[in-house]
Amino acid sequence: MECRLGCGACCIAPSISSLNKPAGERCRHLNADNLCAIFGQPERPKVCADFKACAWVCGSSNAVALTNLIELEQLTS
Ligand code: SF4
Ligand code: SF4
């Protein structure tokens, strides 16, 4: 599936060690429109580039994506 631009759930729910970002906190690079401010730039972590939207995680709404990603984070932490 295509990423729902402006969702931002995958930039909030997971912890991202290379950014020193705890789970559940907005990434400091996530702008007010919930878009990545460093998209396409070399400082964007590889883990971000590797994460692809998929229906079973991102679901049908931003709220569903956030819920699924919080659950996944808890399962894998
Ligand atoms: S959770 Fe999915 S739909 Fe939402 S921003 Fe990330 S990849 Fe896009
Ligand atoms: S660097 Fe960009 S893609 Fe990665 S979590 Fe932050 S805002 Fe999201």
Question: One digit per residue, pLDDT tens: the chain, 77 residues?
Answer: 999 999 999 999 999 999 999 999 999 999 999 999 999 999 999 999 999 999 999 999 999 999 999 999 999 98
In angstroms, the CA 56 to CA 47 distance is 19
pLDDT at position 44: 98
pLDDT at position 7: 98
In angstroms, the CA 58 to CA 54 distance is 6
Whether the CB of 31 sits within 6 Å of ligand 2: no
DSSP class per residue in 29-43: TB-TTS-BTTTTSTT
Whether the CB of 44 sits within 6 Å of ligand 2: yes
